Amino acid sequence: MYSINISLEALMTLTQIDVDDDALAEAMQLSGAKTKKEAVNLALREFAARHRRVAALEHYAQLATAWDYEGWQRLRAAEKDE
């Protein structure tokens, strides 16, 4: 395990954490990150983005449950006939 200090560029926060060496090495290799800091920051941004996408998907799935497809088809057909 590494003990590294991380500082975020926009809002600088200095934090000491223990990081799994193998996971960090794999993340750096897969992402092409040149530094540990870059790999950790990228992982944090991707984690947050993934959870935002899941929340959006759940929101739109909930909206879709109330969608009346047959009603939409009838409306669409009526609009084409006009």
Digit-coded pLDDT (tens) for 21-72: 999 999 999 999 999 999 999 999 999 999 999 999 999 999 888 888 888 8
Give the H/E segment covering residue 23. helix 21-31
pTM over 0.85: no
pLDDT at 9: 57
Tell me 7's DSSP state: -
* Average pLDDT of the residues in 5-23: 77
The distance of Cα 65 from the centroid of its chain, to the nearest Å, equals 24
pLDDT at 65: 86
Cβ neighbourhood burial of 39 (10 Å; 0-12, 13-18, 19+)? buried
